[in-house]
Structure 1
Amino acid sequence: MSNKRNQHVVSHKDGWAVKGAGADRATAIFSTKAPAVDKGREIAKSQGTELVVHGRNGQIQTKDSHGKDPFPPKG
């Protein structure tokens, strides 16, 4: 089994956290959202997984895929 997990940026009592999907503990915690998104993107890129950014209310705001997209955009 692979330990590659999609990375989620979520609201945290101390600001914003980067968490692997299904993880109980945060990988990293930041006081503001922007560096949390940057760190999550860095991890997702290195693992070839997806970055999922949530708003304060928990709803997904954006997704940023860094894996092999089975349906890449045509252009």
Structure 2
Amino acid sequence: MDNYHITKSEELWTLVKKGAQRASKTAPTKTEITAIASEFLKDKTASLKIHKEDGTIQEERTFPRAADPRKSKG
């Protein structure tokens, strides 16, 4: 399973694969990059960690949803 992170870098929000040097996608807002990431990852098996501006993790999503190791509704 690939691991991706959405983080704030200077002026843009970025989607970066763990271990990569460059962003896979960028957007001016967190809302936009989250939508772009969902579309980008929909056909992949991946984990997405969405960070707050301060760098802490706000939310984690699994793609596809069936690959989520936890059987919770959250």
TM-score interval, normalised by the smaller of the two chains: 0.7 to 0.9
Distance 1:40 1:72 in 2: 23
Normalising by the residue count of structure 2, what TM-score does the alignment of the two structures yield?
0.79
CA positional deviation for 1:6: 1.8
Q: Which amino acid in 1 is paired with 2:39?
A: E
Distance 1:33 1:25 in 2: 18
2:8 is paired with a residue whose SS is strand
User: Structure 2 regions of 5+ residues with no counterpart?
Assistant: none
- Matching residue of 2:68: 69
Residue identity over aligned pairs, in percent, reads 27
Please list, as runs of the form range in 1=range in 2, the aligned pairs for 1:1-75 lying within 5 A after superposition.
5-67=2-64, 68-73=67-72
User: Structure 1 regions of 5+ residues with no counterpart?
Assistant: none
Q: Which amino acid in 2 is paired with 1:69?
A: D
Structure with higher Rg: it is 1
Aligned residues between the structures: 71
Normalising by the residue count of structure 1, what TM-score does the alignment of the two structures yield?
0.78
Distance 1:44 1:6 in 2: 10
C-alpha root-mean-square deviation of aligned residues, in Å?
1.9
